[in-house]
Structure 1
Amino acid sequence: MTERTDFASYVDARWPDLVGGLEDEGVPGDRARLAVAEALLAARRSWHRRVRDEQVDVTLWAEARERAGLPVRPGEPVPHAVRPRDPHDGPEEWLERAGEVRAARRRRGALRAVVGLAVVALLAAGWAWWAAQPEPPAVRAEANRLPVAWYAEGELHLEDVVVELPEVEAFVADGPAVVARLRTGEVVRVDAEGGVEPADETSALDAVLTPPPLLGLGAYDVLVESVPLPGGGWAHLVDSARRAGAEDELRQSETGRRAVVVCPTELTCDEPVTVVAGGTVRLR
């Protein structure tokens, strides 16, 4: 079964329960349908991963409740059999509406980000820069092989998308999103779908991290950066061609590599995952 068919089958089966569950808690019908459609639409791009890694009945119900303005109940699944399936009350129209709402929201976010960048640039470069302001950052779908966000060659790699953002000076994870400081001094928030909006919070960007030591480094390995993982533990960026030994005859016949090592605890680490990218690679 294809990913698209799998998603469509889930929507067809669970639509009445998702909508009915919200209506039973006092959410007006149209608002309930739009909230459910927005939650489903947001999950479609990463559906295969979510089905593999999550209990989608639990996470989607929490997201639909949040979008409808109801308190989230962690661990609670979608109610079952609260409404019979009505062929005249399907999800298609509401998914289309949700797509229009999301597109409008992203356009507004991109516009605000561009305007914010333009204001800063006007102070530095004047009207000439304003006449040549850049297009909103390009976004492409691409699954991240690493368990953390990373940056290289002017591209910010999130969980399911890659965002072209060539002026990033520093960044930190903010849930599935990222808060980044650009070289202009502007601080932006890049959401999980690649939308860019101005941000005010900068304390996390300036925080000094104190990671635990990474055990088992090889003779030619250098620890470059470390970042904490949301569920605990650390991810470490290691470069294996940075020490003076890289100049000897043996190392000249090889190519250095960079890899991310995930350590759930100070004493246990997973196998390194090689980072394939040119130029400087950063985790924050």
Structure 2
Amino acid sequence: MKYILPLFLFFTVLGHAQNYGSFTKVTAVRVSNYNGFNLCNISAIAKQGPFIGAKLQAVQSDDEQLAYALIALKKEARQWEKKAIHCDEGVYNSAIPIMYIVQVNRYRDTIFATAGNRSVVDPAEQAEYIDATGKLQGLLDENLCFFFERNYAGEFTTHQGDSIPATAVQLNGKSLYGQKRKGFEKNIEMFQTVRTDSVFADGLQVIKEYWINNYKLKFDAKGVHTINAYLMDYRFPKKIDLTVNGLQIGDTEEKLYALYPCSTEYKNWGANLNDLNNNYYYEVHFTDQKGYAIFYIRNSKINEIEIAFME
């Protein structure tokens, strides 16, 4: 496959590389589920919340040739057959479901495309340029082709994550599920700090937070309601381990893969489009609809664990 890059663009990009160091990133983004919104342009969907999940899916490449070729193709597309795209008719579909965000050093551009990469789109003109010879699709490697062929909406409908017992959430080996505040201090551990906040929403609400080391707990009438465990660069005087089925703060992402192959099937869930390979999460449910645990990933480690107990 050949990549054609105009000389003026090549030297422009090369000049940036010499001044600022080499950096190339192509983020391919697609609409993964059309249900529940009637926005024609993928960029409008991204503005509602630019996060990977049920509406948008994305993959990232550092292929320098692909980046240059996409930039060149956007310019070349102006010579192709042009047709109108009407994005103001409120259709329950997306006429522009694909975009490529290209970064080469400090140069940044976005290429929009129709389904199947059949046309390059100029949203400002509400026009598509027909790619009659399939040049855009021809630039994609096997992984990118598979990414665009996947039926994410169908997969999400049938996908089932992993589940564990609520009793698998433990502090120093003792289950936290159903523990009330007084019983907690008597049977498990004394709290070190109690913080009280007043919230003025639907009347005055007083919320209490109970802290042990880097663990924050809240209670309701049934017992422990939520737990947040935070990764902190600090050695506490007393070591207290909060574990979820053996996992704890600071463990590697690979441990999650081994324990929860279904819940970790979709990578980068919750990541921002600008930081695709960092700051995302995986969710594991408790059996019998007793709640969930969310593992937040940063720098390939569990940076935070959020736990919620329900009936």
TM over 0.5: no
> With CA pairs under 8 Å and 6+ residues apart, which has the higher RCO, 1 or 2?
2
- The TM-score normalised by the length of structure 2 is 0.23
- Asked which structure has the greater CA Rg, the reply is 2
1 or 2, which has the higher strand percentage?
2
Higher helix proportion: 1
